[in-house]
């Protein structure tokens, strides 16, 4: 038996736990795609990795506690905006002293991630301090570029690369590699037409590209009150980047909270007209990539 959550040998498995950007959206109008904020779980080589700690992470935490096996999880934060960390405080494994939780994210100093998480749990904001969490935490601020090795996993690596494609603080892109398979996680990136060159190069030939696709063309390009410069892509930009990078499959991600299921379906059709193998990610979507 491997680490909790490891269900398949020789495959990389993805599961979407939260696909929404900015803030959660519960309610009837989002039942099909889901309302939780960003979180994707990856299982491979006997390990569980989570990408971002939006409210989707809370459900993953409950599942992990139900499973037998070792108690280790690695959480990669694309950046520290609220919608990417708000689930961490309710992630049950951090309250268990038999759990080990690794956290990685970008920052300007070696202590950025730890300091920011500590501040997010200041006693005026939350009743439990970071130092009071029972799990064994290892918190690392990643440099601009790094290949992260996962202890105990021989064939699994996570390439992290910092990008300026998000305003002010930038964002970390992640590329997960496992036995000839690759998945790129690129959320909260904004690209001009044709895409940011660094994102395209980073995603080149990946089997799966999970890409920010928050806005419609109208929202982004409207003459007034448009969303250009807010750090997110349109669906069209995401599809063009997928085509340019020659990925196998595009998953539209970080859906705008104002988009109901009908709107997301409409945007999925638009993406397919540009890049055929496109799909709007939904909560519960699971993909399995067999190792080569």
Among 43, 45, 83, 190, binds Zn ion (CB under 5 A): 83
**Closest distance to Zn ion from the beta carbon of 69 (Å):** 31
Q: Which helix (H) or strand (E) holds 149?
A: strand 145-149
Strands of the sheet containing 100-106, edge to edge, are 136-142, 100-106, 72-76, 47-51, 39-44, 11-18, 286-290
Q: In whole angstroms, what is the distance from residue 241 CA to residue 254 CA?
A: 16
C-beta closer to Zn ion: residue 232 or 243: 232
What phi and psi, each to the nearest 5 degrees, are found at residue 263?
-65, -45
Q: Which two tokens stand for residue 59?
A: 């459900």
Which of 15, 81, 89, 236 forms a contact with Zn ion (CB under 5 A)? 81
The answer to whether 53 and 24 are in contact (CB under 8 A) is no
Residues in 178-237 that interact with Zn ion by CB under 5 A: 188
Paired tokens of 168: 């002010």
Closest approach, Cβ 231 to Zn ion, in A, equals 6
**Minimum distance from CB of 166 to Zn ion (Å)?**
6
Part of the chain binding Zn ion (CB under 5 A), chosen from 14-22, 64-72, 138-146, 196-204: 14-22
Closer of 5 and 107 to Zn ion (Cβ): 107
What is the per-residue binding string for Zn ion in 18-57, x denoting contact by CB under 5 A? ---x------------------------------------
Could you give the angle at the alpha carbon of 91 between the alpha carbons of 73 and 29, nearest 5°? Answer: 115
Binding-site ranges for Zn ion (CB under 5 A): 21, 81, 83, 188
């Amino acid at each position: 038996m491997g680490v909790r959550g490891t269900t398949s040998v020789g495959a990389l498995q993805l599961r979407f736990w939260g696909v929404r950007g900015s803030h959660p959206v519960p309610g009837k109008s989002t039942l099909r795609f889901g309302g939780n904020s960003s979180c994707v779980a990856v299982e491979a080589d006997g390990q569980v990795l989570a990408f971002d700690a939006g409210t989707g992470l809370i459900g993953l935490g409950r599942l992990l506690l139900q499973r037998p096996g070792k108690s280790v999880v690695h959480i990669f934060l694309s950046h520290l905006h609220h919608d990417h960390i708000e689930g961490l405080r309710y992630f049950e494994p951090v309250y268990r002293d038999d759990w080990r939780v690794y956290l990685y994210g970008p920052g300007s100093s070696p202590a950025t991630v730890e300091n920011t998480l500590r501040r997010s749990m200041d006693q005026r904001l939350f009743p439990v301090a970071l130092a009071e969490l029972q799990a064994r935490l290892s918190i690392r601020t990643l440099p601009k570029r790094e290949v992260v090795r996962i202890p105990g996993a021989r064939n699994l690596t996570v390439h992290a690369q910092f990008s300026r494609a998000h305003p002010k603080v930038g964002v970390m892109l992640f590329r997960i590699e496992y036995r000839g398979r690759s998945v790129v996680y690129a959320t909260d990136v904004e690209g001009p037409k044709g895409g940011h060159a660094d994102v395209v190069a980073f995603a080149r030939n990946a089997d799966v590209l999970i890409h920010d696709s928050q806005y419609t063309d109208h929202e982004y390009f409207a003459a007034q009150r448009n969303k250009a410069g807010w750090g997110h892509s349109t669906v069209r930009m995401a599809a063009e980047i997928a085509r340019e990078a020659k990925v196998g499959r595009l998953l539209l991600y970080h859906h705008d909270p104002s988009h109901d299921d009908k709107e997301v379906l409409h945007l999925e059709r638009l993406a397919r007209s540009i890049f055929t193998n496109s799909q709007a990610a939904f909560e519960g979507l699971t993909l399995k990539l067999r190792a080569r």
